[in-house]
Amino acid sequence: MSENASDSPDLAPSDTASDDRTADAQADGFARVRAAHENEMAEDYVELIAELIEATGEARPVDMAERLGVKPPTVTKNLSRLTRDGLVKRERYRSIFLTEEGENLARACRERHRTVVSFLMALGIEEEVAQRDAEGIEHHVSGDTLRAFEVFLQKNS
């Protein structure tokens, strides 16, 4: 059934150039992207909750909805998922808090977000654009790449 890992049976390696990765390596890349997408909602939400608490003293669904650009029922539903997953704790009709785990995730995400934005700006990109692009890019930056961004930032003041 599942063949040997080394494919390309009788074809010279790097025949037509382009993408000479093995099918497995490519599949792994796509799998990681799908995994990243599964964490994306959680990361953006805890990040936003932490920001709102810091900025205004509390995190309310209505404010989250406004900043996320979605309707309040969407926030309610997603908050239930985050509560189920142990990142958020709350009581009905009351404002939102992060669990210890949620706070840790929020801290890491905010740091990473800032790094990505700073990196893009160091590259000469305008802040508005940097913020927009970072919102998506941040979830796909591996530890290695994040470190490379930091190194670049140190070298470029």
Judged by the rule CB under 7 A, the positions of this chain that interact with DNA are 1, 34, 37-38, 40-41, 60-63, 68-81, 90, 92-93, 95
Type of residue numbered 129: V
Build a one-symbol-per-residue string for 66-95: x at contacts with its own copies by CB under 8 A, - elsewhere: xxxxx-------------------------
What's the angle, vertex CA 111, arms to CA 110 and CA 115, rounded to 5? 115
3-30 burial string, b = 16+ CB within 10 Å, else e? eeeeeeeeeeeeeeeeeeeeeeeeeeee
**DSSP letter for each residue of 102-118:** HHHHHHHHHHHHHHHHH
3-state secondary structure of 36: helix
Residues whose CB is less than 8 angstroms from the CB of residue 92 and which lie 6 or more positions away in sequence, other chains included: none
| Residue 145: CB minimum distance to its own copies, A | 5
Q: Which of 44, 46, 63, 78 binds Mn ion (CB under 5 A)?
A: 44
| Residue 29: CB minimum distance to Mn ion, A | 8
Own/partner pairs for 131-138, CB < 8 Å, 24+ apart?
A: 135/44, 138/43, 138/109, 138/112, 138/113
| Residue 63: CB minimum distance to its own copies, A | 8
Q: Which of 95, 99, 103, 133 binds its own copies (CB under 8 A)?
A: 133
DSSP-assigned beta bridge partners for residue 59:
96
* Residue 104 near which of its own copies, DNA, Mn ion, none (CB within 5-8 Å, type-dependent): none
Q: Which residues bind its own copies (CB under 8 A)?
A: 15-16, 18-19, 21, 23, 25-33, 36-37, 44, 51, 54-55, 63, 66-70, 120, 123-126, 128-133, 135-137, 139-142, 144-145, 148-149, 151-152
Q: Which residues bind Mn ion (CB under 5 A)?
A: 44, 47, 113, 135
